[in-house]
Copies of this chain bind each other. A is one copy, B any other.
Amino acid sequence: MSNHLDIDKLDRLAEVAVRTGVNLQQGQDLIIMANLSALPLVQRIAVHAYRAGAGLVLPFFTDDAITLARYENAGDHSFDRAPDWFYEGLGRAYKGGAARMAITGDDPMLLAEQDPARVARASKAVSIAAKPAMNPIVGFEVNWNIVAFPGAAWAARVFPDLPVEQAQSRLLDAIYDASRLGGDDPVQNWADHTAELKTRVKWLNDQNFEALQYTGPGTDLRLGLAEGHIWKGGASPALNGVTCQPNIPTEEVFTCPHAYKVDGTVAATKPLAYQGTVIRDIAVRFEAGKIVEATASTGEAVFRDLLAVDDGSSRIGEVALVPHSSPISQSGTLFYNTLFDENASCHIALGQCYADTIQGGSELAEDELKQKGGNQSLIHVDWMMGSDAVDIDGITRTGETVPVMRKGEWAF
């Protein structure tokens, strides 16, 4: 079914995902979450994982037809259910040392025709049930990685004017380039890229800003940073000691905003694809960290439902800086996929923070994290607000301003 895809490119993607991405250790089990459309990539990942010394490679697949069978045939009671036992088991596997890989590239519009209330209920049920499986990942307790497969439906969405097989090949090329797989030595590509990101991370951590000030069309935002926030980017060691590259591709440096100290307006600079709906021209106003006004030219109701999931879903848990000249941004492609679109632009994320972007955060209880400004939510949705028209300044503890970005590029 995917025989037209360049097997050498898929194989290189698989090898880099295993060796540089998750950095699988001798004897470590590898849990893979994937849509069945990504089977050709998962098969290559299995080969490289076993060559790297995997204990067991354990793939868990979703299937679009079976997902739709639920929406089209199930009783209403089904949509509040989730398999707790499975997520608790996954949590135990991670606590027991397993690494995790996720393959993105599903059909972003799969559920577009389904009742949005049911989609939201099903998603919420999974978010709640999946906490034991997500906490070790969000808390960076184990090495993990996410890579992309150019599934047919996704490719058709990104390149709607091409026949689907050509769209998939074209999307594989885009993934290959964005994932820095070209040349003689992709492992060295990633070492170089990480070194560059680490330079930015070090400078930002040395500055230890109190807040960031964003200024651009429709955007005038003072974004406070969490107490003890840590900038991160590129490869870093998980708490199990294994250095991994969680996202392939990645261009961002990011940290934890203060969930209660964000004030002003933001205009999104790209559409947000969320559960089958494309939300365009988002504009919001924050007061004391909470979004108190929100509009969008399409999908506004879905966006409002998202903000209403819980208290934390109308606050932010991540702030990320990406130069406008990043390769993904320069490709000019809208991917309708967070892994790519978030690496094309400065962004913030509604919802859950990453505990490891606050000093000692992984050892803190939820309310201790909150006191430092770390947001808590069932959701984490990245949301683009950078462009070549946005300036960002750092605000120091003594109230001075230091240029961070000018017209979307690093200013230091």
Q: Interface of A with B (CB < 8 Å)?
A: 1, 26-27, 29, 36, 39, 42-43, 46-47, 50-51, 53-61, 63, 65-66, 69-70, 72-75, 77-78, 81-83, 85-86, 88-90, 92-93, 96
Contact = CB atoms under 8 A, between A and B. Distances in A.
A29 B81 contact: yes
Contacts of A55: 77-78, 81
Contact of A78 (B43, B54, B75, B96): B54
Contacts of A43: 63, 65-66, 69
A3 to B, nearest CB: 11
A98 to B, nearest CB: 8
A100 B165 CA distance: 37
Contacts of A63: 39, 42-43, 59
A55 to B, nearest CB: 5
A46 B89 CA distance: 23
A85 B61 CA distance: 17
A402 B219 CA distance: 93
Contacts of A92: 85
Given A57-B66, A85-B92, A89-B89, 19 more contacts: A1-B1, A27-B75, A27-B77, A36-B61, A39-B63, A42-B66, A43-B63, A46-B65, A46-B66, A46-B70, A50-B72, A51-B73, A56-B78, A56-B82, A57-B69, A58-B83, A61-B61, A85-B93, A88-B89
A39 B96 CA distance: 31
Nearest to A80: B55
A143 B46 CA distance: 34
Contacts of A59: 61, 63, 66
A56 B83 contact: yes
Nearest to A93: B85
Nearest to A125: B56
A129 to B, nearest CB: 11
Contact of A89 (B29, B82, B85): B85
17 contacts: A27-B75, A43-B63, A43-B66, A43-B69, A46-B65, A50-B73, A50-B78, A51-B73, A55-B77, A56-B78, A57-B66, A57-B70, A58-B83, A58-B86, A83-B93, A85-B93, A88-B89
A231 to B, nearest CB: 35
Contact of A47 (B36, B69, B78, B88): B69
**Top 8 closest pairs, chain A to chain B, by CB:** A89-B89, A50-B73, A50-B74, A46-B69, A85-B89, A85-B92, A46-B66, A43-B65
Nearest to A47: B69
A86 B89 contact: yes
A79 to B, nearest CB: 10
Contacts of A85: 89-90, 92-93, 96
Contacts of A96: 85
Contacts of A39: 36, 63
